[in-house]
Every structure is written in C-alpha cells, then in structure tokens.
Homo-oligomer: A and B are copies of this chain.
Amino acid sequence: MPRMTILGYALLSLLASEPLSGYDLAQRMKKPISYFWHARHSQIYPELARLEELGYVTHEVIEQVERPHKKRYTITQAGYENLRDWLTKPTEIGPDRSEIVLKAYAIWMTDPRKAIDLFQAHLRLHIERLEQYERDYALIEREKSSSLTFASPLFGNYATLRKGIGYEREYVDWCRWMIDQAQAYLTQQEVTCKLQ
C-alpha cells in the first residue's frame, strides 16, 4: 500500500474546494499552488492513482464533444479527514536551497561589475513576480473582501498570496542591498585610485 506524500496533500487541498481533473490540477500547480508548492503533470497523474488506491479520491470519466475525455476527481470523506488531520500536525522548517544565495556566498571572488549585472537581472525577476502577486492580491481584496475570513476557502489564496508578497519583497530588498554593496566597493576603489 502506498503512503501519503506532501504532494498528495497538496492535491487533496485543491480538491477540497472543488472537483478537478489531473489537467486542472497541473494548471494550478504550474504556477506553484498559490505560490508555495508546485508539481508537473507527470508527477500528478500517478499521484492521483495512488490517492485513489488509498480511497482518498474517486473519479468519473467525463466525455466531451470536440475535446478529449477527462477524469473528474472528487475528494472522499476519508480523504477530507486525512487532510484535516495532517493540516494541524506540527510542521518543521523544511530545508531551503537558493542558488542565488549560494552564489552570494562566493561572489567575493568575482568582478563586482559582473556581480551587479547578476543581481540586477535576478532583481528584475523578483520584481516581476512581486507585481504579479500584488495585482492578484488587490484583485481578491477588492472583489472578495467579505469572504476573506479564516473559515472561507478563499482565505487560503489570501494567506499564501500574503506570504508570496512578503517573500518577494524580502528578495527585492536583499538584491538591492547586494547591488549597493558591490557598488560601494567600486566607488571605494575609485577613490583609492585617485588618491594615489
């Protein structure tokens, strides 16, 4: 018998609001599930089969005209209970890996101008994401502000978006700080040269 994975719970947590097909789930997890879990269809399809084997979801085939058939997955009572149990279990801080922070660790050995280019390009990516998140956030606050209370399914989007925004803002600040550090070093060098 297969056991539960975090991905399994991610799928259940999406199915908890509405029945979805594997394709729908993959769409929602392309852009990480409300910004903090993602998976591809090649991982999702087998995982759905596992969830079904465990009795946490069921599916029905929907025949469509002029579209391929699809499998509509629905969470079961057992799946719902399993998810609810997992949700409130103590959660450790997961291992974090960031390629750009690793690069920052060794950046001292490079040309500061190249470092500035690196962090400026990276900064742009984070600003882009941040702006997207802020647009989404403004949208749900404007249109759904009444249902953003803790017990509403939309609260999930709200809470994770808020995390995404804080996360990206922190990255933006840090990238700017890195650029400043490299720039400060460069001007310092210039002054030293002129004095000699």
Interface set of A (CB-CB < 8 Å, partner B): 6, 9-10, 12-13, 16, 32-38, 80, 83-84, 86-112, 114-115, 117-118, 121-122, 125-126, 129, 149-157, 159-160, 162-163, 166-167, 169-170, 173-174, 177-178, 181-182, 184-185, 188
Contacts and interface: CB of A to CB of B under 8 A. Distances in A.
The copy count of this chain in the complex is 2
12 contacts: A9-B102, A16-B106, A34-B101, A38-B97, A84-B109, A93-B122, A104-B160, A105-B157, A105-B159, A107-B159, A108-B152, A108-B156
Contact of A16 (B90, B103, B109): B109
B185 A162 contact: no
Given A97-B37, A170-B167, A185 B151 contact: yes
A172 B163 CA distance: 11
A37 B101 contact: yes
A90 B119 CA distance: 8
A184 B109 contact: no
Contacts of A167: 96, 170
Nearest to A122: B91
